[in-house]
């Protein structure tokens, strides 16, 4: 059922670039929730999840800030 889709080299490069941007954004947002070793940040950690910070990270990634 899987059909092979043909794309140009330019389209392939654009997809890889887009994936890299999303991966980078995911890592930046994850840093608000987990420590470098993968453990969850304590709730009182000043570097922890803060919706304003996460929003700024996302907005910056899309060039809105």
Residue by residue, DSSP assigns 26-51 as: HHHHHTTTB-TTSPBPPTT-TTS--H
Q: Rounded to two decimals, what is the model's pTM? A: 0.68
Phi-psi region of 38 (alpha: psi -120 to 50; beta: other; left: phi over 0): left
Of 27-31, 33-37, 56-60, the least confident? 33-37
pLDDT in tens, 32-55: 887 766 676 666 556 556 788 899
| pLDDT at residue 46 in the model | 60
Distance CA 37, CA 40 (A): 9
Distance CA 63, CA 7 (A): 27
């Amino acid at each position: 059922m899987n059909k092979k889709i043909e794309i140009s080299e330019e389209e392939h490069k654009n997809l890889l670039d887009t994936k890299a941007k999303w991966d980078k954004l995911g890592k930046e947002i994850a840093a608000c929730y987990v420590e470098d070793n993968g453990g969850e940040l304590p709730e009182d950690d000043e570097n922890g999840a803060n919706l304003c910070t996460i929003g700024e990270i996302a907005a910056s990634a899309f060039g809105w800030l």
